[in-house]
Amino acid sequence: MPEQARDAAAACFLCARALGRRIEYHHPVPKSRGGRDTVPVHPICHRAIHAAIDNKALARDFADAEALRNHPDIARFLLWIADKPPDFHAPTRRRKT
């Protein structure tokens, strides 16, 4: 099956909603930490991941989808995004530290 057709039928790694027209690829283990594998995600989900968690923490504690979904900021995001259409977009704000 061609990659585009496979991705169109797939769900987002983070939110598990159907993917829309725009698909980005997330490295569960960041490339800077030796990661090679990628998973399809919505652009807004991809931005939410990187706004909430730095690469070191992603590699150490959040490479697994379930662990990522249990992160407090991501869990809040998932509740908010759950009923949005696949191509929904809104500005993503970085967490204040």
pLDDT on residue 27: 96
Instruction: Please tell me the predicted confidence (pLDDT) of residue 97.
Output: 54
DSSP string, 33-86: GT----EEE-HHHHHHHHHHS-HHHHHHH-SSHHHHHHSHHHHHHHHHHTTS-T
CATH T-level assignment (fold) for domain 3-81: DNA Binding (I), subunit A (1.10.30)
User: How high is the mean pLDDT in each 10-residue block of the chain (97 residues)?
Assistant: 50 96 95 94 96 95 96 97 92 65
Residue 19, CA atoms < 13 Å, CB-side half-sphere: 22
Q: Which pLDDT does position 10 carry in this prediction? A: 86
Which amino acid does the sequence have at 95?
Answer: R
pLDDT score for 96: 56
pTM check: above 0.75: yes
pLDDT of residue 3: 47
* Domain range list for the chain: 3-81
